[in-house]
Every structure is written in C-alpha cells, then in structure tokens.
Amino acid sequence: MPTTHSRLHRGGVVAIATLALTLLGARPTSAQAPALQSTVEGFLDQVGGAVMQVMRSDGNTAAADMAAARVLLDQVRTLSVDPAARQALGPAARRLVQLVRRMDGAVRRAQVTVDNPRIRERRKIQVLKAVYARGMKALAVLGSPVLAEANARSAGFHKPGQEVTFRVLGPDGELCNETPTVAVENQFASTAVDLTTVVAHPDGTVTMTMGAGAGGARVTVTACGQTSSRLLFNYGPTTSGGGHGIPGNLPEGLYELSVSASGYVSIPETSLGTFTNTDAQTFANTLRDAVRQAAAAYDVPGCSSSTRYSPFDGESFTITFRVTCSNVAVTVSEKLVFRVRKL
C-alpha cells in the first residue's frame, strides 16, 4: 500500500501539470515523449514534497527533496536536447529548452533558501512556489488537463476561508458535463480544506472551502472516464499559533518545555514538563499558560518587560522573556529562555 508521502507526491505532480496546462493551453504530445514527461513529473514530485515538508516544519526532508529535484532537473535538461525528443515535440521543443534553462537558477536559489534554518517558512514557500510555476510551464507542453482550477493564477495556494472551484475536463478538453466523483484528503492531519464544504455539481465542477490550518490536501476526481488529482495548499492563519507569536504549524506529538535564566539570577536549563499537541489552538494556549506562570515571579510592577518568539526550526523554538528594573543608582535585568522541543 502506498504511503501518505508517496500519495502526496503523485498528487502534487498531477496538480502542477493540470494547472500549467490551464495557463498555457494543451499540447497533445505527451505520448510521443514519455521519458521526458515522466522525468519532469518526477522533478515536480520532489518540489511538491519540499513544499509540504516546509509546511510541516521538517527542514531536513524538504532539503533532501530539493537535492533530488536538482538531480532530476539535470536529467530533464539532457532529455530536452535529445534529437528524438525535439522531433517529437516539434515547435514546442525550443520553448521547453528555454524553460528548463530558466528553471536551473530558480532551483538553486530554492535549495539554498530551504537549507537555511534562519529563513522563515513563509519565505521558503514563496520561493518553492516560484519553482512550481516554472516546472508547470515546462510540463504544459507535454499533455492536456483533466482537472483545472478556475482561479489558475493561485497555483494551488490559498488562504483560510477561500472558496476553490475546479472544472473537470473531458478527453476532448471541453467541460465534462456530468456529476464527478470526488474525494478530498487532508495531508498529515492538516485542516487545509474544510471537508464538510466539498460539493460535486452536475455541470462538472467541484467546489470547496479552505480550512483554518496550514497544510495541504489532495483532491481526486473521476468523471468522463478519467481520473485526476490535484494538490491544494493552505498558507494558514496570518498570525501564528492563534496569535501571540507561537508558531502555528507545529507537528502534532509530544513536546518538552524547559527554562533557563541569566542576568541577576542564573538558572541552568530545567524541564517544566511535557505537553501533547493534538490541536494547534489548545496547545498554544497551554504553552502560554505554562510560560506565564513560570515568568510571574520575575514580572515586577514598575519594571519593563518584553517577550520574543523564535521560528520553529524543525526541532524546537524559544520564547524569550526579558525584564529590566532601574532606579537612579542601578539597573538590574533578567532573561528567561523557554525552549519548546519536539520529542
């Protein structure tokens, strides 16, 4: 049985392919260059995996996916200039070579960005989305769409609460005027799509509303004798962790909270216990309560304080609480660092 990750990758390939064809128009040449098409799909497979892993805060797996994508892009470059492939593609061959050449720099920049733990995840997703777009254009010269999003400019990326409409196309490229069979599966326990809003319409369209959380969903539709899949991505809420700075895309599981202090009083890193994350909002509230209780002894009236949150790097993030008290003669400060680590 295929794993969730492998199913995700296959969905990502088809998602990118169909959207590209919507943007650029179908060219029925894929059967003439199967090796080239499958390699481009493999490339997009890895890029799609990197997007999802970044959303899951798994930087190591995302970096590995991009390294594999670069290897496949080298193969695409070689195949795109092969005489047999150029003959099969006809006038589209020159366009494909140009697109592949431009993809190289975009992929290199994306890999450097993904590899850097100091770069925020939102920026990494933006860079990977740009690679998506270039890969989709390359694939667009090799096939025809089955499932196309009405808002093609979104590239499959949406915000919470946005409505998404898909059109199901038949073998002739025209709208398939029958009620499609549709299945939507949120990936990695995300809430990317509100599954209660999914509706298949008699005119061959499918509508749904994006959910509240960051992540991805795989949409699979069957109609007019064809089956196709697409990936949808949800950026998640603008404020992280329901607000107040706690990252909002923490993977589910067990976390340990610890604290250390430096300044007027020094305390070595000490565990404050473990907490289970099964719901982002509840987990964020639990962490804030635990931090607030531990910092209460240092939050002195008349003194100034501040709180700063770091991004989640795939292993942990920190909450830094500073308090400073001053009078004419002396200034005293204390810094507490709360570390939340995925076990």
Confidence of residue 9 (pLDDT cuts 50, 70, 90): very low
Give residue for tokens 């949808």. Answer: 232
Residue type for position 197: T
Find out whether 184 and 217 touch, Cβ atoms under 8 Å.
Answer: yes
Model confidence pLDDT, tens digit, residues 306-328: 777 888 877 888 888 888 887 66
Mean pLDDT along residues 29-45: 71
Tokens of 234: 């949800």
Mean pLDDT along residues 175-200: 89
Q: Give how many domains the chain has, as a whole number.
A: 3
> Minimal CA–CA distance to 127: which of 97, 151, 105?
105
Alpha helices by DSSP H, the chain: 4-24, 34-55, 59-80, 83-89, 92-115, 121-139, 280-295
**Looking at residue 185, what is its pLDDT?**
92
Same domain assignment for residues 60 and 9: yes
Last residue of a domain, one of 145, 174, 204: 145
Mean pLDDT along residues 12-30: 36
Q: State whether residue 152 is helix, strand or coil.
A: helix
Same domain assignment for residues 108 and 174: no
Looking at per-residue pLDDT, the higher value among 165 and 44 belongs to: 165
Beta bridge partners of 338: 259, 319
**Looking at residue 258, what is its pLDDT?**
93
**Looking at residue 18, what is its pLDDT?**
36
Same domain assignment for residues 8 and 115: yes
Same domain assignment for residues 113 and 151: no
Tokens of 244: 């107040």
Looking at per-residue pLDDT, the higher value among 152 and 84 belongs to: 84
Q: In this model, does residue 242 exceed pLDDT 70?
A: no
Looking at per-residue pLDDT, the higher value among 307 and 14 belongs to: 307
Last residue of a domain, one of 194, 223, 238: 238
Same domain assignment for residues 234 and 273: no
Model confidence pLDDT, tens digit, residues 53-64: 888 778 889 999
Burial of 87 by CB count in 10 Å (0-12 exposed, 13-18 middle, 19+ buried)?
Answer: exposed
Q: In this model, does residue 283 exceed pLDDT 90?
A: no
Last residue of a domain, one of 92, 115, 145: 145
Same domain assignment for residues 12 and 137: yes
- The CA–CA distances, whole Å, from 63 to 58, 117, 342 equal 9, 11, 19
- The CA–CA distances, whole Å, from 208 to 19, 57, 149, 173 equal 17, 26, 11, 23
Beta bridge partners of 163: 209
**Looking at residue 86, what is its pLDDT?**
84
Q: In this model, does residue 161 exceed pLDDT 50?
A: yes
Kindly report whether the global pTM for this prediction surpasses the value 0.85: no
**Looking at residue 8, what is its pLDDT?**
37
Share of the chain above pLDDT 70, in %: 84
Looking at per-residue pLDDT, the higher value among 312 and 206 belongs to: 206
Range of the domain at 101: 1-145
Q: What residues contact residue 84 under an 8 Å CB cut-off, 6+ apart?
A: none
Same domain assignment for residues 79 and 187: no
Q: Select, from the ranges 4-8, 32-36, 152-156, 214-218, the one with the highest average predicted confidence (pLDDT).
A: 214-218
